[in-house]
Every structure is written in structure tokens, then in C-alpha cells.
Amino acid sequence: MIPRDRYTSTRVARSAASIAKVTTRTLDGQDVLVDLSLDDYQRLQLTEDRQVFIYPKNARVFFPEYEI
């Protein structure tokens, strides 16, 4: 689980439809996918390797399906 207050660096940013998907990497190497509105994405002017501060508001963790 991601601590509530975390600095990350931007890795990849893609915009599609009404949201932008930004992949960030925490200081300990954990990837975090962030969804932003296009307005927020354009306002922040995110570029690769830019340091950002994230605060998980609606965090979800997905695990691979278990097979027997």
C-alpha cells in the first residue's frame, strides 16, 4: 500500500478521451498509475522525470488472478 504522502517522479503521460493517465514512480521504485482530468493535466504541464507530490484519494490495488 502506498503511504498517504508520497513524492514521485513522472514517467509516462498519455491523454485519451476525458482523462489523462500518468505513470509515476515512488522514491522506493514502486509504479503508481494516476488518472487526472484533462484540465488538471494541462494545468500541471507534466513532463517526464518531474517531481510531483501525490495524495491517494481513491486508491485501488489489483492482484493477479489466482489459479489452481
Tens place of pLDDT per residue across the chain (68 aa) = 545 456 677 776 676 678 888 888 888 888 888 888 888 888 988 888 888 888 878 888 778 887 76
β-strand 51-54 against 6-16: which pairing, if any? antiparallel
**Given this model, what pLDDT does residue 59 score?**
80
Domain containing 49 equals 6-54
CATH assignment of the domain containing 17:
2.40.50.140
User: Given this model, what pLDDT does residue 56 score?
Assistant: 78
Number of structural domains (the chain) is: 1
| Predicted pLDDT of residue 13 | 67
Quote the CA–CA distance of 24 and 10 in Å, as a whole number: 4
What is the model's pLDDT at position 20? 84
Q: What is the dihedral of CA 2, 59, 17, 14, to 10 degrees?
A: 10
45 within a domain of the structure (yes/no)? yes
Confirm whether 15 is domain-assigned.
yes
User: What is the pLDDT at residue 6?
Assistant: 64
Cα(32)–Cα(9) distance, integer angstroms: 10
Residue 60 lies in a domain: no
